[in-house]
A and B are shown apart, each in its own frame.
Chain A
Amino acid sequence: MAASIARDRWQPSAALAGPASLFLIGFFVGPLLLGVGVSLGVRHTSASATNLGIALYVRILTDIYYLEVMLATLLLALAVTAATLVVGYPLALAVSRARGATRTFLLFLIVAPLLVNVVVRSFGWMVVFGRSGLVNAALGLVGLPMIDILHSWLAVGIALVHVLLPFMVLSIASTLEGIDMTYEEAAATLGARPWRQFLHVVLPMSLHGAVTGCLLVFALCMGSFVTVMMMGDNRTMVLSLLVYQQLTVVSDWPFAAALGMVLLAMVMAIFWLQARIVRALAP
């Protein structure tokens, strides 16, 4: 009876969340722990294992090639995040202000590419940038020479921005939804033109959503390899693609696991950074 007295209204039991929690612990936390274990060489079963345990991590962190790949991955993720932020913020503003049919159209516009599959979209960009693609066709019309952007960091970057833009926009738009219009009106009556209303009122109040969006895009970018695989070549190597190759082509499971853990560590570090920033921003 003590348990029911402790609650002051009828409430569903916490046990209802049990199945979901158990499922996650069993098939999410478990595998991740195992992944760490495999990277440390705990009872691996792959065919060609190079080195084991801590030696793997040492190898990753001291070989210049891997460090370069890590740096490239980081820079790409930062660039893509910045680009999606700049491109996505106005879109988020437009969506949150729109009503009725316009709003539905905008949401559709933003969401549809998100769910049409990264392979299809990357293929689309391959056609746009390829030798016999849209860009070159357009250039040809105007009389300019053909360019080969495909297989470059630029093409990969643009395609990634395209893939990840919806996440940024939705994240910011969700926060903007919660901001009452009267704040902007108050700023207007105090003498702020629309641009200044945005800068001094809307932006500070929606920073939370922007930070969430940036983190989401950053994490997704660090983990995306299909786009890079389809649009890039050996020069454009990122950590996630390296992991994938080690796993499927070289079949070096422990090494792949180790690389994966390094990737995970990088992502976690950024999340930790986020928590610090959010705490500092919170009024």
Chain B
Amino acid sequence: MNWQRRRRLVAVGYVGVAAVFILAPLLVVAAVAFTSANFVSFPPTGWSLRWINKVLADDNFMRALANSVLLGFSAALFAALLATPAALALARGGFRGAAELESFLLSPLSLPALILAIALLFYLARLGLAGSFAGLLIGHAIIVLPYMLRTVLAVYRGIDPSLEEAALVLGATPRRAFLHVTLPLIRPGIVAGALLAFLVSFDEVAVALLLSSSSSMTLPVAILNHVTHNYDPAVAAISLVKIVLVVAVLGILELWFGLDRIMLTREAR
């Protein structure tokens, strides 16, 4: 067996083991969701859809799911509106301090969400927004903005500047060049960034935990509440619903745009 074959085998072996580690909790949750018993155990003693039905009929869970979806879309939209022009300025602006501004706009990424959550809690409480949907939206927009910005920036930097310059020479004003040339080219990137932003918001716990009220609760918070009070398969069932949703969105992202273009964005210098 030549050295290329051997290297391939080692790689496959390692990835296999890693895959088991990565997927184990998820598969376990999926299995427990279908259990017929009243308690959580693995492997499940019997199979049934009762927990899934129960969860889909539960008002609390469904309302939290609706909140999460609405919040995700809103945060993504808001972030898109802020991030797209900013990306434009950062990628082509060439002004002094552009690199620092970029670091600043991306900084929420490096901050533990809990700290942001506390800070926002005090701040929004003062504004009377704590526990409201608007407060959650603001918090998630902050968290999601850097993801959106990074994606759109990467896409925009990948576009040849001479395309825009050609449009200008052909008679387009900067605004029209943007509308007719740039925007169509970066639109897939914006959509991908928005989908990514949605997923990040959908998944977010710390800010949601501190800024939710019982009416504006998001799904992760609802699940957490349920788990701390009753450790039963309902949690697995609702988790499965969430997993299916996320996998579906990821699938769309991959088909439309390609996962590697979003996830493996090279750091631009």
Contacts and interface: CB of A to CB of B under 8 A. Distances in A.
Majority DSSP secondary structure for residues of A touching B: helix
B170 interface: no
A91 B15 contact: yes
Given A12-B174, A34-B123, A178-B266, A20 B85 contact: yes
A174 B267 contact: yes
B113 interface: yes
Contacts, number: 287
Interface in B111-158: 111-116, 118-126, 138-139, 141-142, 145, 149
B181 to A, nearest CB: 13
A260 interface: yes
Given A109-B22, A120-B243, A134-B28, A14 B89 contact: yes
Interface in A27-73: 27-28, 30-32, 34-35, 38, 45
A12 B105 CA distance: 18
B114 A260 contact: yes
Given A137-B42, A194-B3, A247-B118, A11 B220 contact: no
Nearest to A161: B21
Interface in B228-269: 231, 235-236, 239, 242-243, 246-247, 250, 254, 259-260, 263-267
A146 interface: no
A115 B174 contact: no
B120 A13 contact: no
Interface in B150-203: 165, 168, 174, 178, 199-200, 202-203
B22 A222 contact: no
11 contacts: A10-B168, A90-B11, A109-B23, A116-B239, A117-B205, A120-B220, A120-B223, A132-B42, A173-B264, A264-B115, A267-B112
A-B pairs, 5 with minimum CB distance: A223-B112, A124-B25, A31-B119, A31-B123, A16-B85
